[in-house]
């Protein structure tokens, strides 16, 4: 008998129940390993052995040389995140070598505190335990409802409560798969639960390849934006010293992989609206609404181009981090803060929106005593536009890494939003419900 589910059993099978009760509870099994000595079975495959559906061979470094050029020898990065991914690869190879994880029987979506067939809940528990999800709530379960003696196969159909500990484990799983953490097992959550372990291995392997391909450029201090993981991390040597959520490009407006340097910050930036966005979105809005340009602070320049003045309605927000590149991609603030509440955040036209721009600016300017965090905020509040050169340009890498270790030490497996790993149909979480702010916040820029 497990701690997540309790079965209502007919008197004729009491003896069988006593045997089952002697099995160790999955709830008290040890947490997933995070050190090499605990990273799965002893017969786990070596970390350099790629899965059958590994990332494509052309997944080279950002700004890579042409395909016919002789590739440079790759090196292993000196980075904590990379080492943890190697351990995760070994652990999941052990799961694959043991036959994968249990299958959850079909049925209606399972909602917290409701009652379902015990066999489904037991299968859900075993599936989650295969990855180390065991819940954190010790609240007692309610007793199962006794089956009717006249019901066929009453013991197998006995209903059990989908209780707090199992709900907690499901929410942890949903968080680590970039899904809404509501504890409901259905829709995208069920799709992710029934995906084979090889799907996770493919994403781990793809991420490891991106680390190795770019290792030569990732040393000292640098910024890493993991595109499908929707996260920015500032590294100093092996470890991240600052992390924050980001918003990246929609599948039709993909954020490209690139490596460059942030050279300066623009405080209270204006926005030169790209012609493609002006023609497809801005101009049609102005034709329907004669006051649109005035309300949004949009002006038509002499050459016919459009720009938007600095201010609270400017999609760039109050700070813009410039890394000159031919893709015209940069990092910036956003007035659409509600978008960060979504676990999967592919909403932009390709640029990267950062949740904590003032924190990032303070870090980048920490070598200049004139620019404290308070001084940055004061300059923002003034409303004046100003370019501030960094004391030292900061390397930034935008890379497609669909697997990484979270701050809580658990492996996070992101949706393959651009279908680069080969997981077609690997959908992300639903977009949050629109708000009044969304009326003037399209997916720019």
Q: Domains in the chain, please, with CATH?
A: 11-64+74-198 (no CATH), 217-440 (2.40.440.10)
The angle, 0 to 180 degrees and rounded to 10, between the axes of the packed helices 118-130 and 164-176 is 50
Burial of 399: CB neighbours in 10 Å, binned 0-12, 13-18, 19+: buried
Which pairing describes strands 221-226 and 386-399: parallel, antiparallel, or unpaired? parallel
Distances in Å between the alpha carbon of 445 and those of 217, 310, 334, 348, 418? 28, 14, 10, 6, 18
Is 118 an annotated catalytic residue?
no
What pLDDT is stored for residue 73 in this prediction? 56
Structure tokens that stand for 207 in this block: 């991420």
What pLDDT is stored for residue 142 in this prediction? 42
Mean pLDDT computed over 62-79: 60
Q: Which of 118, 160, 332, 397 is catalytic?
A: 332
Instruction: Please give the backbone phi and psi of residue 89, each rounded to the nearest 5 degrees, phi first.
Output: -60, -45
Indicate if the pLDDT at residue 24 is higher than 60. Answer: no
What is the residue-wise DSSP string for 133-154?
---S--PPPPPPPPPPTTSTTH
Q: How confident is the model at residue 440 (pLDDT cuts 50, 70, 90)?
A: very low
Taking the model in full, what pTM does it have? 0.77
Q: How confident is the model at residue 313 (pLDDT cuts 50, 70, 90)?
A: confident
* 3 state DSSP class of 275: helix
Q: For residues 12 and 147, what is the distance between their CA atoms, to the nearest angstrom?
A: 13
Decide: 166 and 141 in contact? Cβ < 8 Å: no
Q: Report the 10 Å Cβ neighbour count for 250.
A: 16
Indicate if the pLDDT at residue 97 is higher than 90. Answer: yes
Indicate if the pLDDT at residue 428 is higher than 70. Answer: no
Q: pLDDT tens, 388-412?
A: 999 999 999 999 999 999 989 999 9
Percent of the chain with pLDDT over 70: 73
Mean pLDDT computed over 45-56: 38
Residue corresponding to tokens 């590739």: 71
Q: For residues 193 and 177, what is the distance between their CA atoms, to the nearest angstrom?
A: 10
What pLDDT is stored for residue 325 in this prediction? 87
Q: How confident is the model at residue 7 (pLDDT cuts 50, 70, 90)?
A: very low
Q: pLDDT tens, 225-277?
A: 999 999 999 999 999 999 999 999 999 999 999 999 999 999 999 988 888 88
Percent of the chain with pLDDT over 90: 59
Structure tokens that stand for 138 in this block: 């010790």
Mean pLDDT computed over 418-435: 59
Q: For residues 200 and 189, what is the distance between their CA atoms, to the nearest angstrom?
A: 15
Q: Which of 118, 349, 351, 397 is catalytic?
A: 351
Residue corresponding to tokens 């991390």: 233
Mean pLDDT in the chain?
A: 80
- CA-based torsion, 189, 193, 195, 201: positive or negative: positive
Q: Which residue has the higher pLDDT, 117 or 17?
A: 117
* Torsion region of 357: left, alpha or beta (phi above 0 gives left; psi -120 to 50 gives alpha): alpha
Is 160 an annotated catalytic residue?
no
Give the HSE-up count for residue 256: Cα atoms under 13 Å, Cβ half-sphere. 13
Radius of gyration of the CA atoms of the chain, in A: 26
Q: For residues 244 and 157, what is the distance between their CA atoms, to the nearest angstrom?
A: 46
Indicate if the pLDDT at residue 282 is higher than 70. Answer: yes
Q: For residues 113 and 117, what is the distance between their CA atoms, to the nearest angstrom?
A: 13
Indicate if the pLDDT at residue 23 is higher than 80. Answer: no
Cis peptide before 442 (omega within 30 of 0): no
Which DSSP symbol is given to 318?
T
Mean pLDDT computed over 374-387: 96
Which pairing describes strands 386-399 and 258-267: parallel, antiparallel, or unpaired? antiparallel
Q: For residues 316 and 307, what is the distance between their CA atoms, to the nearest angstrom?
A: 12
Euclidean distance between the first and the last CA atom of the chain, given in angstroms as a whole number: 54
């Amino acid at each position: 008998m497990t701690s997540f589910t309790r079965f209502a059993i007919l008197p004729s099978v009491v003896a069988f129940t006593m045997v089952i009760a002697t099995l160790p509870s999955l709830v008290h099994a040890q947490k997933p390993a995070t050190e090499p000595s605990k990273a799965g079975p002893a017969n786990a495959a070596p970390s350099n052995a790629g899965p059958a559906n590994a990332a494509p061979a052309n997944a080279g470094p950002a700004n890579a040389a042409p395909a016919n050029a002789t590739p440079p020898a790759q090196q292993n990065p000196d980075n904590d995140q990379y080492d943890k991914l190697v351990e995760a690869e070994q652990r999941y190879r052990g799961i694959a070598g043991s036959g994968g994880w249990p299958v959850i029987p079909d049925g209606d979506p399972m909602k917290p505190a409701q009652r379902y067939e015990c066999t489904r809940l037991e299968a859900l528990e075993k599936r989650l335990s295969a990855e180390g999800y065991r819940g954190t709530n010790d609240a007692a379960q309610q007793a199962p409802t006794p089956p009717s003696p006249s019901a066929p196969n009453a013991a197998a159909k006995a209903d059990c409560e989908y209780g707090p500990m199992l709900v907690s484990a499901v929410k942890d799983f949903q968080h680590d798969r970039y899904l809404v953490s509501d504890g409901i097992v259905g829709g995208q959550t069920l799709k992710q639960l029934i995906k084979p372990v090889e799907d996770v291995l493919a994403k781990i392997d793809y991420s490891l390849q991106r680390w190795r391909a770019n290792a030569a450029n990732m040393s000292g201090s640098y910024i890493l934006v993991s595109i499908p993981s929707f996260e920015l991390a500032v590294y100093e040597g092996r470890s991240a010293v600052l992390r924050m959520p980001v918003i990246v490009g929609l599948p039709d407006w993909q954020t490209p992989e690139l490596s460059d340097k942030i050279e300066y910050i623009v405080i209270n930036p204006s926005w030169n609206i790209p012609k493609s966005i002006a023609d497809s979105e801005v101009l049609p809005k102005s034709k329907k609404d004669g006051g649109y340009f005035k309300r949004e602070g949009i002006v038509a320049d002499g050459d016919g181009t459009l720009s938007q003045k600095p201010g609270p309605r400017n999609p760039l927000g109050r700070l813009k981090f410039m890394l000159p590149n031919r893709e015209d991609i940069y990092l910036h603030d956003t007035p659409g803060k509600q978008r960060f509440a979504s676990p999967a955040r592919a909403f932009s036209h390709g640029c990267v929106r950062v949740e904590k721009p003032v924190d990032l600016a303070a870090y980048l300017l920490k070598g200049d005593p004139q620019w404290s965090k308070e001084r940055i905020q004061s300059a923002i509040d003034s409303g004046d536009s100003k370019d501030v050169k960094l004391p030292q340009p900061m390397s930034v890498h935008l890379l497609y890494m669909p697997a990484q270790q979270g701050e809580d030490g658990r492996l996070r497996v992101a949706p393959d939003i651009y279908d680069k790993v080969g997981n077609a149909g690997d959908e992300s979480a639903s977009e949050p419900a629109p708000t009044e702010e969304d009326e003037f916040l399209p997916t720019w820029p």
